């Protein structure tokens, strides 16, 4: 009886559900990642994606990827490019698909829900990528293709992808015996631990270091907002009635630039310089030594003399010597210029009755005074000419004139936030090239800074030409009820910079995912972006985009000239501190044996050898040089900023010679740089475009050092 009842109830329930479904047409939620996107150009259908979709899709993606890798391993036929290297490059489609959306949104829309998902997803992905990169069976197949490549008659892009794949395994220790593999793993863990401790110390020092003022007279010259912030800092630190300045950039730079009190500036300067090297628990000397020594051991284990050798081997510069040669060509004129600037400032001090020699803590303050005297131009006069919508028109016009592409708004396209704009990018013949998205305003859920990224990379998949989805994100001045978004010069430059990365991603024609778009050497990747900045003040373009938001008047030539001149101001100092830091980084990583080093003595000896003016310090002192000790990202790679700037200035100088819209040069830049990705050696590509190796002259001219 009871059983019957249950069956009946179950039946009834079923029919009720079925009827309900018929009546209201409730659609069952399907995980959008798991089915093919049906949207135009396969833009992710953001409105259909729920937070609950990510983790299952990542797990399914990992599972699918593992199966694909296994299929490569178990093949009986001889490994070749298609069945191994290409198969690997094409594998993991589902995982990549969900990761594109996940990474994009976790940075630009990092809601608490997204953070929760991150805590689950990140470890899964790290573990998976470790597993793939250390898969010995898989490496065996890759190595067999690599060792026998002569038999396959590979094209150049195929060779490049093969080499890149092989080398990335080797760098993870694939060629080592088991004992050495274990050692490498141990070293990697110890480096990661020391870096974490380095960053933790830095965070603590940055937050705890303070400069306290209890006499209001010492605040003279400081902007009101800085003083107000210092008062509220004091209150939150139990020092109500006083003012607390911190070493965080807004507070520190305001004090160094505007405080009339020399002693306050000196206290701030010394507080900053001592970050991570005070005699306290946050001293970073031991961590620096640990990291340097472990890196030497790692390089040795992988067959390199030094860590710098190892890092340069895989990039455009190729050798430490090449990187250093380039830096020295910049260093000398930079120091000479800095000495002129120091003399100008000293003259200003003398003229205004100062009876002292300019010290390092006076640098920002007197640079600002001299700048004001020379170019009296305020940001407020300039911004009305740079309304964001117009700047975007300028970007599109520039790309149209150079590469013949057009941007058509897609108002109905899916977007993850109403502030996002989506464009259909087409070539001169009207053929679809890419989707471009912009997301320019700050939000509480968006991280700081500006960047370019992708939701889909371009490549050829089973004969199908897949076109990319590229986006630019910024944190630009937001419109208000009274004013549209009016950009600062820095923001205009950033928009041009990120759009340059965007073009690199959009216009790529490289055949394989692993070598497409911005997937290139770390010292060449900033070439297209910095190159694109050279059009921001191009007169023809300014007429199109730099128009007063109220009157429509084009920005006056005089103002542009002043802007250009003032952008070169203080470049001796800025280049010296930057180039100095790049050289210091290389010096740290040129060591070929482990030893205990006194950090301060080491820095001083490098500065002395370089002939660094005593009024200037390295842009970052080692105990807070996070780029090189906080992670591996810029280790033995801080020079890449200047390296890429040499390339971009030199590339742009061809247009300065031949005309900013010279079609032959534009087509050459398009084919050799923007379209090529990593399908050829970066130096070869540059030489094909420029007709010779890169030279520093254009950079020196742009920075006003020559």
Nearer to Zn ion, 301 or 489 (CB): 489
Cβ of residue 648: shortest distance to Zn ion, in angstroms? 10
Cβ of residue 686: shortest distance to Zn ion, in angstroms? 18
Residue for token digits 């149209």? Answer: 400
**Residue 368: enclosing H or E segment and its boundaries?**
helix 363-374
| Catalytic residue IDs | 498
Q: State the CB neighbour count (10 A cutoff) for residue 697.
A: 14
| Cα–Cα distance measured from residue 162 to residue 165, given in angstroms and rounded to the nearest whole number | 5
| Cα–Cα distance measured from residue 295 to residue 590, given in angstroms and rounded to the nearest whole number | 10
| Cα–Cα distance measured from residue 604 to residue 13, given in angstroms and rounded to the nearest whole number | 81
Rama region for 212: left / alpha / beta (φ>0; ψ in -120 to 50; rest): beta
Nearer to Zn ion, 298 or 703 (CB): 703
Cβ within 8 Å of residue 65, ≥6 positions away:
91, 92, 94, 95, 128, 132
Nearer to Zn ion, 362 or 526 (CB): 526
**Bridge partners of residue 454, in order along the sequence:** 470
Q: SS3 for 513-559, per residue?
A: HHHCCCCCCCCCCCHHHHHHHCCCCCHHHHHHHCECCCCCCECCHHH
Residue for token digits 């060792």? Answer: 147
The pair of structure tokens assigned to 560 is 């542009």
Q: Where are the beta strands (DSSP E) in 23-100?
A: none
Picking from 277, 261, 170, the residue whose alpha carbon sits closest to that of residue 222 is: 261
**Residue 4: enclosing H or E segment and its boundaries?**
helix 2-24
Q: State the CB neighbour count (10 A cutoff) for residue 114.
A: 17
Cβ of residue 627: shortest distance to Zn ion, in angstroms? 14
Nearer to Zn ion, 526 or 702 (CB): 526
Cβ within 8 Å of residue 535, ≥6 positions away:
398, 496, 541, 660
Cβ of residue 498: shortest distance to Zn ion, in angstroms? 7
**DSSP conformation class of 471:** E
| Cα–Cα distance measured from residue 703 to residue 697, given in angstroms and rounded to the nearest whole number | 10
Nearer to Zn ion, 61 or 502 (CB): 502
> Do 171 and 302 contact (CB within 8 A), yes or no?
yes
| Cα–Cα distance measured from residue 507 to residue 9, given in angstroms and rounded to the nearest whole number | 61
| Cα–Cα distance measured from residue 414 to residue 412, given in angstroms and rounded to the nearest whole number | 7
| Cα–Cα distance measured from residue 317 to residue 281, given in angstroms and rounded to the nearest whole number | 39
Cβ of residue 449: shortest distance to Zn ion, in angstroms? 10
Cβ of residue 503: shortest distance to Zn ion, in angstroms? 12
Pairing assessment for the beta strands 469-473 and 432-439 based on DSSP bridges: parallel
The pair of structure tokens assigned to 474 is 């910024």
Nearest position to Zn ion, beta carbon: 529
Task: Spell 374-403 as b/e; 16+ CB within 10 A means b.
Answer: eeebeeeebbbbbbbebbbbbbbbbbebbb
Q: SS3 for 28-54, per residue?
A: CCCCHHHCCCCCHHHCCCHHHCCHHHH
Picking from 666, 664, 686, the residue whose alpha carbon sits closest to that of residue 676 is: 686
Nearer to Zn ion, 427 or 493 (CB): 493
Binding site for Zn ion (CB under 5 A): 526, 529
The pair of structure tokens assigned to 671 is 């084919």
């Amino acid at each position: 009886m009871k059983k019957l009842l249950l069956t009946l109830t179950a039946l009834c329930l079923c029919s009720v559900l079925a009827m309900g479904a018929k009546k209201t047409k409730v659609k069952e939620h399907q995980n959008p990642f798991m089915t093919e996107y049906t949207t135009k150009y396969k833009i992710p259908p953001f409105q259909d994606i729920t937070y609950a979709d990510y983790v299952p899709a990542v797990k399914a993606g990992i599972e699918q990827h593992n199966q694909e890798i296994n299929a490569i391993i178990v093949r009986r036929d001889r490994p070749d490019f298609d069945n191994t290297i290409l198969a690997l490059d094409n594998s993991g489609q589902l995982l990549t698909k969900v990761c594109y959306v996940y990474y994009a949104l976790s940075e630009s829309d990092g809601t608490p829900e997204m953070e929760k998902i991150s805590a689950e997803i990140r470890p899964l992905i790290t573990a998976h990528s470790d597993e793939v990169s250390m898969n010995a069976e898989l490496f065996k197949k890759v190595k067999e293709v690599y060792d026998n490549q002569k038999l396959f008659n590979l094209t150049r892009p195929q060779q490049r992808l093969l080499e890149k794949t092989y080398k990335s395994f080797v760098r993870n220790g694939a060629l080592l015996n088991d004992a050495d593999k274990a050692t490498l793993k141990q070293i990697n863990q110890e480096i990661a631990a020391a870096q974490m401790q380095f960053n933790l110390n830095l965070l603590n020092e940055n937050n705890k270091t303070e400069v306290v003022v209890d006499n209001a007279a010492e605040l003279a010259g400081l902007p009101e907002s800085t003083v107000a912030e210092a008062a509220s800092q004091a209150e939150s630190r139990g020092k109500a009635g006083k003012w607390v300045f911190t070493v965080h950039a807004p507070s520190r730079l305001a004090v160094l630039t505007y405080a009339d009190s020399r002693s306050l500036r000196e206290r701030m300067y010394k507080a900053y310089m001592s970050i991570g090297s005070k005699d306290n628990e946050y001293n970073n000397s031991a961590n620096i030594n640990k990291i340097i020594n472990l890196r030497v051991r790692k390089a040795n284990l992988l067959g390199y003399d030094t860590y710098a050798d190892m890092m340069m081997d895989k990039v455009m510069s190729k050798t430490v010597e090449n990187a250093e040669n380039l830096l020295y060509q910049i260093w000398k004129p930079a120091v000479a210029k800095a000495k002129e600037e120091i003399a100008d400032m000293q003259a200003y001090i003398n003229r205004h009755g100062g009876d002292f020699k300019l010290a390092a803590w006076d640098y920002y303050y007197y640079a600002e005074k001299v700048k004001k005297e020379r170019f009296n131009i305020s940001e407020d006069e300039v911004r009305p000419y740079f309304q964001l919508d117009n700047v975007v028109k300028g970007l599109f016009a520039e790309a149209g004139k150079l590469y013949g592409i057009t941007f058509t708004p897609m108002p109905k396209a899916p977007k993850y936030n109403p502030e996002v704009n989506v464009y259909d990018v087409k070539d001169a013949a009207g053929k679809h090239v890419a989707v471009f998205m912009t997301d320019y305003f700050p939000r509480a859920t968006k991280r700081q800074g500006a960047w370019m990224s992708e939701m889909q990379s371009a490549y050829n998949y089973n004969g199908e030409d897949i076109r990319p989805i590229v986006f630019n994100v910024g944190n630009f001045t937001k419109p208000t009820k009274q004013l549209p978004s009016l950009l600062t010069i820095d923001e205009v430059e950033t928009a041009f910079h990120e759009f340059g990365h965007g073009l690199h991603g959009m216009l790529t024609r490289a055949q394989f995912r692993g070598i497409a778009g911005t997937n290139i050497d770390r010292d060449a990747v900033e070439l297209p972006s910095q190159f694109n900045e050279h059009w921001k003040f191009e007169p023809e373009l300014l007429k199109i985009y730099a128009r007063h938001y109220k009157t429509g008047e084009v920005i006056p030539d005089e103002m542009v000239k002043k802007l250009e001149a003032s952008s070169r101001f203080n470049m001796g100092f800025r280049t010296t501190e930057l180039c100095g830091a790049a050289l210091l980084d290389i010096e740290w990583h040129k060591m070929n044996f482990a030893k205990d080093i006194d950090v301060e003595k080491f820095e001083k000896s490098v500065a002395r050898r370089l002939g660094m003016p005593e009024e200037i310090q390295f842009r970052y002192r080692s105990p807070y040089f996070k780029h090189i000790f906080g992670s591996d990202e810029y280790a033995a790679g801080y020079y890449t900023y200047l390296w890429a700037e040499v390339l971009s200035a030199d590339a742009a100088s061809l247009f300065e010679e031949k005309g900013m819209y010279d079609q032959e040069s534009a087509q050459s830049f398009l084919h050799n740089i923007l379209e090529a990705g990593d399908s050829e050696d970066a130096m070869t590509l540059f030489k094909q475009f420029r007709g010779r190796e890169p030279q520093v002259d254009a950079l020196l001219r742009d920075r006003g050092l020559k």
